[in-house]
Amino acid sequence: MFELFTHRIVETGRLPLFSFFTAFIVMFVVTRVNVRLIRAEMRWWFKNVKAGDLHIHHVVFGVVLMLVGGVASMAIPDEYGGFDVAAAIIFGMGSALVLDEFALILHLSDVYWTEKGRASVDAVFVAIAVTGLLLLGIRPLGFEGIQPDPEGGISHTGLIVIYFVTLAANLALAVVTLLKGKIWTGLLGLFVPLILIIGAIRLARPGSPWARWRYVPGSRKARRAQWHEERFRRPLIRGKIWVQEFIAGRHDLDLRSLRKGVTEARGARSQPGDQVRQPHDGT
């Protein structure tokens, strides 16, 4: 196992990337365990970090760690390989803290435990998937495996032309796939072009930009897309949500807050001696 690690990771120069990947996953798990225990209001656990009435979100610490790790990786000379690994670990920890609150940055609102907060978990899953593919040696939008023919079969200029044609085709397929509402297919297809081809050919998801532009309401394609969504996509989404909530906790704060507000409102209305105030018109 150690020899395999040395051959596949160390000798290929992927040790900093592996360190980032490991630190990212560990920090994300630690962060989610921490916030779930805080949410459960365990007396023996930590509380939210506050400065007076200001709640300091962990994205702040993540930004600081990313800045430290990023600047350190550029400032450290190449001969100090061990420090590169340390910088990658710091950067990975900061990235996990930032992406764990990606929804807060996206919506500029504290939606951590709401349904919108699932965007943070999606961002983390995408980061893990992309980093894992890079760690396996798969390059995005690359044209690998072709080397200049020493006998003159393919010239250097020909390789450049082939590369840019392939790059343009892959980008076009990725755009079509994303416009069809297939985010995961579009992102993973950047590493595996066959996935892009399948995603671009198949029907778009209902409500996607492609479906709104190309599918007439009530048409055969629109009906097929809706059937496909209900038959295959929604069970997958339910499974994805189950995995998200198993790892990151339930995103149901909106419902809980609504029920609490309704209960408090009913209690206030039922207090004896309360009088209904008429609206004041300012006169």
Residue 40 lies in a domain: yes
Tell me the three state secondary structure of residue 70: helix
Residue 209 lies in a domain: no
* Domain containing residue 48: 1-138
Residue 166 lies in a domain: no
Arithmetic mean of pLDDT over the chain: 81
Grade residue 144 by pLDDT with cuts at 50, 70 and 90.
Answer: low
Looking at residue 152, its pLDDT comes to 52
Angle, CA of 126, 131 and 133, to the nearest 5°? 100
Give the Cβ contact number of residue 150 at 10 Å. 6
Contacts of 105 (CB under 8 A, 6+ apart): 59, 98
Residue 49 lies in a domain: yes
What does the chain come to in residues?
A: 283
CB-CB contact of 9 with 134 (8 Å): no
Q: How many domains does the chain have?
A: 1
pLDDT over threshold 80, residue 270: no
Phi/psi-derived region of residue 154, left when phi > 0, alpha when psi is between -120 and 50, beta in every other case? beta
Using alpha carbons, select from 24, 34, 32, 33 the residue that is nearest to residue 93.
24
Residue 207 lies in a domain: no
- The more confident residue out of 119 and 271 is 119
Looking at residue 281, its pLDDT comes to 42
Residue 110 lies in a domain: yes
Distances (CA, A) of 158 to 98, 140, 193: 43, 20, 21
Residue 219 lies in a domain: no
Tell me what percent of the residues of the chain surpass a pLDDT of 70.
Answer: 81
Rounded to an integer, the average pLDDT of 151-174 is 76
Highest mean pLDDT among 51-55, 160-164, 253-257, 259-263: 51-55
Distances (CA, A) of 165 to 73, 145, 170, 179, 189: 34, 16, 9, 21, 17
CB-CB contact of 65 with 94 (8 Å): yes
Looking at residue 239, its pLDDT comes to 86
Grade residue 89 by pLDDT with cuts at 50, 70 and 90.
Answer: very high
Residue 218 lies in a domain: no
